[in-house]
Amino acid sequence: MTESLLQRVATARAGAPATRRAILDLILEDPDRALEESFEQLAERSASSVPTIMRTCRDLGFAGLREFKLALAQALAVGGSALHRRVSIEDAADEVVDKIARSAAASVSGVRGQLDMQVLDAAVAAIAAAPHIDLYGAGATSWFMANDLQARLFRLGLSANAWSDYHLQQVAGAAQRGAGVVIAISHVGGMPSLLDAVDIARGQGAKVVALTRPGTALAQKADYLLGLSVPDDAVMHVGIDAYLTHLTLIEIITVLVAQRLGDPAMARLQRARDAFQRHGIDASTHPLQSWEGGGVGPSVAPRHKEAGNDIGRTNGSRRKGRS
- Decide if pLDDT at 142 tops 70: yes
pLDDT band for position 293 (50/70/90)?
A: low
User: pLDDT tens, 200-217?
Assistant: 999 999 999 999 988 899
What's the one-letter identity of residue 131? P
Closest by CA to 136, choosing from 212, 241, 238, 56, is 212
Angle at 181 between CA 177 and CA 184, to 5 degrees: 125
pTM of the model: 0.66
Q: What is the CATH number of domain 2-113?
A: 1.10.10.10
Closest by CA to 57, choosing from 30, 24, 106, is 24
Instruction: Report the C-alpha gap between 163 and 184 in whole angstroms.
Output: 10
- Decide if pLDDT at 286 tops 60: no
- State the span(s) of the chain assigned CATH 3.40.50.10490: 115-272
Instruction: Report the C-alpha gap between 113 and 39 in whole angstroms.
Output: 10
Q: What DSSP element (H or E) covers 37?
A: none
User: pLDDT tens, 107-135?
Assistant: 787 788 788 999 999 999 999 999 999 99
- State the span(s) of the chain assigned CATH 1.10.10.10: 2-113
The pairing of strands 133-137 and 181-185 is parallel
The pairing of strands 160-163 and 224-227 is unpaired
Instruction: Report the C-alpha gap between 71 and 199 in whole angstroms.
Output: 32
The per-residue pLDDT for 314 is: 42
Q: Do the Cβ atoms of 159 and 257 come closer than 8 Å?
A: no
Closest by CA to 193, choosing from 134, 123, 133, 139, is 139
Report which listed range, 3-12, 22-31, 167-176, 283-292, is most confident. 167-176
- Following DSSP, what letter does each residue of 78-124 receive, concatenated? TSS-SS-TT--TT--HHHHHHHHHHHHHHHHHTHHHH--HHHHHHHH
84 versus 296: the higher-pLDDT residue is: 84
- Decide if pLDDT at 149 tops 70: yes
How many other β-carbons are positioned within 10 Å of the β-carbon of residue 10? 14
Superfamily of domain 115-272: Glucose-6-phosphate isomerase like protein; domain 1 (3.40.50.10490)
Residues in the chain: 323
Q: Do the Cβ atoms of 141 and 238 come closer than 8 Å?
A: yes
How many other β-carbons are positioned within 10 Å of the β-carbon of residue 1? 12
Q: Do the Cβ atoms of 257 and 274 come closer than 8 Å?
A: no
**Please, what is the end-to-end C-alpha distance for the chain in angstroms?**
84
Q: Which of 32-46, 152-166, 180-194, 255-269 has the lowest mean pLDDT?
A: 32-46
CA atoms within 13 A on the CB side of 24: 23
Instruction: Report the C-alpha gap between 210 and 224 in whole angstroms.
Output: 6
Mean pLDDT over each residue of the chain, to the nearest integer:
80
Instruction: Report the C-alpha gap between 245 and 269 in whole angstroms.
Output: 25
